[in-house]
Amino acid sequence: MVDVAARETKSTRTRQRILDAAAEVFSEQGYPARLSDIADRAGMKAGSLYYHFDSREDLVAEVLRLGIEGSWEQVAAAVGRLPSTATPLQRLEAAVRAHTLSIVGRSAYATAQARIVGSLPPDLARAHRKDQRAYGEYWRDLFDAAQRAGQLKSGVDTFAAQMLAFGAMNWTSEWFQAGRGLTPEQLADQAVMLFFGGVASLP
């Protein structure tokens, strides 16, 4: 066995613990969170972080990457679980539901990602944009398929619709509190209903 990626050394486990702590702290405090707070939660001293990460920015970048990756995996899995007879619109619906749940469903990474993207210094923002673009293109394919199938209202700008949807879904990390009012699943239902059918009762 020489599969380095899969090997579980003490180091990789600690690194993971640090990342988990960082995701939680960033999701609570936003970008200005201090390394000492992250170290505290990981059960170590701030200086010790540097054995695992070269800099604060490296740590932030990794949390951001994992945030997108996590949502993407959940969304892709949900879409993949659909029967092959599912329509493009149903696939898009499953994606909206899954992404909303990935934000709200206690994924500190997804929440942190959604919360701190707005305050990134230029270099981190640039690095992050590549991942965003890749995930965005996955969504664009979903939109394009639905549009080609004639399942989208005429006049809909798919790019604007996609970005408006991301805004609505990602912002839930700021206000949604499980147990107060809606469950995560009910919130996802609301998002799907609103996004595909709108709030108005009259056509």
Q: How far is the C-alpha of 82 from the C-alpha of 70, rounded, in Å?
A: 19
11 binds, among DNA, a second copy, none (CB under 5 to 8 A by kind): DNA
Amino acid letter, 111: T
Segment 65-104, which members bind a second copy (CB under 8 A)? 89
CB of 43 to DNA, least distance (A): 7
Binding piece for a second copy, criterion CB under 8 A, among 8-16, 49-57, 77-85, 163-171: 163-171
Q: Give yes or no for residue 190 binding a second copy (CB under 8 A).
A: yes
55 binds, among a second copy, DNA, none (CB under 5 to 8 A by kind): DNA
**Measured from the CB atom, is 16 or 119 closer to a second copy?**
119
- How is residue 184 written in tokens? 């995560």
Choose among 42, 103, 29, 41: nearest CA to 67: 103
Return the DSSP state at 181.
Answer: S
Q: How far is the C-alpha of 124 from the C-alpha of 121, rounded, in Å?
A: 6
Based on C-alpha coordinates, what's the Rg of the chain?
19
CB of 20 to a second copy, least distance (A): 20
Please say whether the beta carbons of 37 and 29 come within 8 A: yes
Q: Give yes or no for residue 152 binding a second copy (CB under 8 A).
A: yes
Return the DSSP state at 82.
Answer: S
Total chain residues near a second copy (CB under 8 A) = 53
Site string for a second copy, 109-148 (x = CB under 8 A): ------xxxxxxx---------------------------
Calculate ∠ Cα 56-58-61, nearest 5°: 110
**Measured from the CB atom, is 17 or 56 closer to a second copy?**
56
46 binds, among DNA, a second copy, none (CB under 5 to 8 A by kind): DNA
Q: How far is the C-alpha of 134 from the C-alpha of 126, rounded, in Å?
A: 13
For residue 3, CA distances in Å to 9, 13, 17, 69, 120 come to 12, 16, 21, 22, 34
Q: Catalog residues that contact a second copy under the rule CB under 8 A.
A: 29-32, 89, 115-121, 150-157, 159-161, 163-172, 174-176, 181-182, 186-187, 190-191, 193-203
